Every structure is written in C-alpha cells, then in structure tokens.
Amino acid sequence: MSEMLHDKETSRNLYDMFLTVDQMTNAHERSAMLAKMLFPKEEEQIAEVLTLVRRIVSSGWDREWASDERSNQVEEWRDDAVNFNLLAAVLRAGYILEDVVDIMVHQKAATLVFSEIRGQADCAEMNIHDWQTAPERTKEDVLKVIDNALGNMKAGLDGR
C-alpha cells in the first residue's frame, strides 16, 4: 500500500476516482462506486458480508432471534441487541453494510449460508428458522456453517 501512495500516477488515479464519487448526487450510485473501489470483485463483497455475519454471531449468539444483555428478545436492528441467531445476524450485517454492499450481493451471501445448511441436512426445503432454533443447535454449529460457506465460496473461486 505504501508503494502505491508513492506512485504519483496511482495517487492521481485514486484522487480522480474519489472526486468522481464525491460529485455523484445519487447516494446509491455513490455507495455502489465506493463498494467497487473497496471490494472490486463481487466475491470479495460476499466474503465481507459472511465475515461480518460470523463476527456478529461470534460476539453473541441467541437461538431464538436477537437479545439484549439481559437476554430479553429484541429486534436485530436495535442498538441494545447484542446476541443474534443466524438470520438476525444476516439482517444485522445488512444494516451495517447497506451503504457499502449492494443488496443483491448481500442476498447471495445469505443464500450461500442457507444452501450450506440445506446441504448438510440433505433437504432442499429445510426451513432455516427451524434449523437454527432446534434445541440441539449450538453456536459452534452456526459458526461452522458460516465457515463452510466461506470455504466453499473460496474453493469455487480457486477452481475457476
């Protein structure tokens, strides 16, 4: 990165890109351009979403939906929500990244995780909510599914 900053041509190109983004009046266009600059490939954006979902679940897990520090059930978008199940974590990641990652990319990330669950269960019609709220479900199960989705995505990219 430091070599990049010392290169005048590269610095000028970056400046021009940021100037272009700054001059855009449409917030969605501006967000999309920034996303492409930060994560040039859609796969990188999907990995960013999945990584954030994993961090959210890692920091606090709830089997039912989302909860506050006192284990009271709350909506996933609330500031006092600190524990999340998989679906709530996916939605929370969407709120956090909504100005950076396109909603379709976010949907693709969620689909990868849900496909992993359905593949493990060998059931294409598996209800994700039923899977994650099962009494035997653990935080480790959820993290493993996210890790497998990330791993499968990266393996697919390497196989291209």
User: What is the residue-level pLDDT of the chain in tens, covering all 160 positions?
Assistant: 334 344 556 555 555 555 555 555 555 555 555 555 665 588 888 999 999 999 999 999 999 999 999 999 999 999 999 999 999 999 999 999 988 888 889 899 999 999 999 888 777 777 888 898 999 999 999 999 999 999 988 776 555 5
Number of CB atoms found within 10 A of residue 150's CB:
20
> Residue 44: what pLDDT?
85
> Residue 76: what pLDDT?
93
Whether residue 52 is found in the same domain as residue 11: no
- The whole domain housing 2 covers 1-38
Whether residue 72 is found in the same domain as residue 150: yes
Whether residue 26 is found in the same domain as residue 77: no
Whether residue 28 is found in the same domain as residue 58: no
Whether residue 48 is found in the same domain as residue 122: yes
Q: How far apart (Å, rounded) are the C-alpha atoms in residues 46 and 96?
A: 14
Whether residue 105 is found in the same domain as residue 123: yes
Whether residue 34 is found in the same domain as residue 45: no
Q: Is the pTM of this model over 0.85?
A: no
Whether residue 8 is found in the same domain as residue 49: no
> Residue 121: what pLDDT?
78
**Total domain count, the chain:** 2
Whether residue 78 is found in the same domain as residue 22: no
Radius of gyration of the chain from its Cα atoms, rounded to whole angstroms: 18
> Residue 154: what pLDDT?
76
> Residue 3: what pLDDT?
41
Whether residue 89 is found in the same domain as residue 23: no
Q: How far is CA 150 from the centre of its chain?
A: 10
